[in-house]
């Protein structure tokens, strides 16, 4: 078994002493929903380490930290018969927000590595990595991703436990395609029957640990079609909601559950969860605009919702992020946001199995304006 390049690069960048301590703390206090996240993360690391020790491949960087995580995971597997008490994610008093200085952060895996878009002019980001564009973020550090010369614009939307990144890109003819970036290996994705012309191409938006993808493509008649790619096979699907006139699948977890949003015949937007062929509508209370963007193994869902306002001359709605945990909604909105122009525009895009959330919000600047900025909500 050869370790994927994406795993090696991610370990070199994102696996730190702080992350190892984080896993140990979560394992010892038995107080969060992270038991599976710890065991799966450690099991994958241990399997890859075992394979590397019996081959000619060089040991991965940060080998001692990986072994430490694997030991924690093995102990948790041994103790998995125990009843593990949990604390609801939306009631954690010590949750904190961290700015990620890019246009947005779209996904985060259980190693704590986030993927984002447009590392821009800040000392923390562009000057630190020597460039701009799609990037990885972990423990306050940034790394700009590298794409082939045929890619003139790439927009990542998710990252899995192996460090494989999914998203969309424009080629030199300004046609859009899906992609998977696995270390230095770049794979372009065009769904069968797609008509790649400008924006009417293939969109891949979510990836899980197994490498299953979810996305959408447009045919020669400009009709949109949803799909999953499982074991390399395209599988089209139709959202089983009769009132839907358009939908967008956005995320997929390791159970194969899919989240997204749809527009009904009255023009209202709703989130949805599609599990085992059954669709459930997601509406934030009091809102006529809800979008679901990410889901973890436990079924926690993140997204955004809008509410009407009458006091701002620049907009008639404010948007906020949300977390749907065990049937209860809570708002995700970083402190220090600005509503000076287009409202408190916050979107929660991704959530990992530890309940860490990434997204984008309007950060108030010293000049009284607002700047779109990625965020990480952690504890």
Residue labelled with tokens 């984008």: 360
Structure tokens at 79: 């103790």
Rounded to an integer, what distance in angstroms lies between the CA atom of residue 73 and that of residue 41?
Answer: 8
Q: 332 and 322 in contact (C-beta within 8 Å)? A: yes
pLDDT value, residue 287: 93
CA distance 99 to 77: 34
Q: What is this structure's pTM? A: 0.85
Q: Of all residues in the chain, what percent carry a pLDDT higher than 70?
A: 70
Instruction: Give 79-128 pLDDT, tens digit per residue.
Output: 544 433 343 444 444 578 888 877 789 999 988 899 988 765 455 555 55
Residues sharing a CB contact under 8 Å with residue 50, sequence separation 6 or more, in sequence order:
none
Q: Predicted confidence band at 351 (pLDDT cuts at 50, 70, 90)?
A: very high
Confidence of residue 63 (pLDDT cuts 50, 70, 90): low
Cα gap 52→30, rounded to integer Å: 31
For residue 279, list its beta bridge partners. Answer: 274
pLDDT over 60 (residue 144): yes
Instruction: Indicate if the pLDDT at residue 158 is higher than 90.
Output: yes
How far is Cα of residue 171 from the mean position of the Cα atoms in its chain? 23
Residue with the bigger pLDDT between 213 and 220: it is 213
pLDDT average, residue stretch 307-324: 79
pLDDT class for 22, splitting at 50, 70, 90? confident
Would the pLDDT of 183 be above 90? no
- What is the side-by-side strand order in the sheet with 370-378? 96-100, 370-378, 357-364, 347-351
**pLDDT over 70 (residue 154):** yes
Residue-level pLDDT at 335? 83
Please determine, for residue 229, whether its predicted confidence score (pLDDT) is greater than 70.
yes
Tell me what pLDDT residue 16 has.
76
Q: Cβ distance 254 to 270 under 8 Å?
A: no
pLDDT of residue 66: 66
Phi then psi for 202, rounded to 5 degrees? -110, 135
Choose among 104, 147, 112, 86: nearest CA to 19. Answer: 112
What pLDDT, on the 0 to 100 scale, is given for residue 87? 38
Rg (CA), the chain: 20
Question: Picking from 17-31, 121-135, 220-234, 341-355, which range would have the lowest pLDDT averaged per residue?
Answer: 121-135
Q: What does each C-alpha distance from 328 to 271, 308, 353, 376 come to in angstroms?
A: 15, 22, 17, 21
For residues 82 and 297, which has the higher predicted lDDT (pLDDT)? 297
């Amino acid at each position: 078994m050869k370790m994927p390049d994406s795993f090696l690069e991610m370990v070199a960048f994102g696996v730190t002493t702080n992350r190892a301590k984080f896993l140990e703390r979560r394992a010892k206090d038995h107080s969060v929903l992270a038991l599976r996240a710890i065991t799966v993360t450690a099991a994958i690391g241990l399997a890859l380490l075992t394979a590397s020790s019996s081959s000619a491949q060089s040991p991965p960087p940060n080998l001692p930290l990986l072994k430490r995580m694997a030991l924690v995971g093995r102990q948790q597997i041994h103790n998995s018969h125990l009843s593990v008490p949990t604390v609801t994610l939306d009631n954690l008093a010590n949750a904190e927000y961290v700015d990620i200085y890019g246009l947005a952060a779209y996904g985060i895996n259980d190693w704590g590595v986030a993927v984002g878009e447009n590392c821009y002019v800040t000392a923390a980001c562009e000057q630190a990595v020597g460039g701009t564009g799609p990037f990885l973020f972990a423990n306050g550090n940034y790394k700009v991703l590298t794409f082939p010369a045929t890619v003139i614009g790439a927009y990542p939307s998710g990252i899995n436990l192996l460090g494989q990144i999914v998203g969309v890109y424009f080629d030199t003819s300004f046609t859009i395609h899906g992609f998977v970036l696995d270390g230095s290996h770049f794979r372009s994705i065009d769904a069968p029957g797609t008509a790649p012309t400008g924006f009417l191409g293939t969109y891949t938006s979510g990836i899980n640990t197994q490498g299953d993808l979810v996305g959408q493509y447009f045919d020669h008649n400009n009709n949109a079609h949803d799909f999953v790619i499982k074991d390399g096979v395209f599988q089209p699907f139709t959202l089983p909601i009769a009132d839907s006139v358009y939908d967008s699948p956005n995320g997929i977890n390791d159970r194969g559950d899919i989240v997204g949003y749809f527009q009904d015949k009255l023009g209202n937007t709703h989130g949805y969860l599609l599990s085992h062929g059954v669709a459930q509508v997601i509406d934030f209370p009091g809102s006529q605009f809800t979008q679901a963007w990410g889901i973890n193994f436990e079924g926690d869902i993140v997204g955004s919702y809008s509410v009407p306002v009458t006091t701002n001359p620049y907009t008639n709605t404010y948007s906020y992020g949300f977390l749907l945990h065990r049937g209860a909604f809570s708002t995700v909105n970083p402190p220090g946001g600005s509503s000076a122009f287009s409202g408190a525009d916050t979107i929660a895009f991704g959530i990992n199995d530890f309940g860490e959330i990434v997204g984008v919000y309007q950060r108030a600047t010293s000049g009284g304006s607002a700047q779109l900025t990625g965020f990480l909500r952690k504890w």
